[in-house]
Amino acid sequence: MKIIYSLLICCIVFPCKAERFNAAYDVKHQTKLYSSSSVQSLAALDTLPDEIITVPVVIHVLYNDNTLNLSDAQVQSQIESLNKDYSRSNNISNIPAAFSSLSADVKKNFCIAN
pLDDT digits (tens, 9 = 90+) for 3-30: 554 544 555 545 544 445 555 555 555 5
Q: Is residue 28 part of a domain?
A: yes
96: domain range? 22-112
Q: What is the pLDDT of residue 113?
A: 92
Task: Tally the domains of the chain.
Answer: 1
Q: Is residue 67 part of a domain?
A: yes
β partners of residue 53:
108
Q: Is residue 8 part of a domain?
A: no
Q: Is residue 5 part of a domain?
A: no
**Averaged pLDDT of the chain:** 75
In the chain, count H helices and then E strands.
Answer: 5, 2
Q: Is residue 74 part of a domain?
A: yes
Q: Is residue 15 part of a domain?
A: no
Q: Is residue 48 part of a domain?
A: yes
Using CA atoms of 112, 54, 80, 40 in order, give the dihedral in degrees to the nearest 10: 150
pTM over 0.75: no
Q: Is residue 96 part of a domain?
A: yes
Using CA atoms of 102, 54, 32, 97 in order, give the dihedral in degrees to the nearest 10: 10
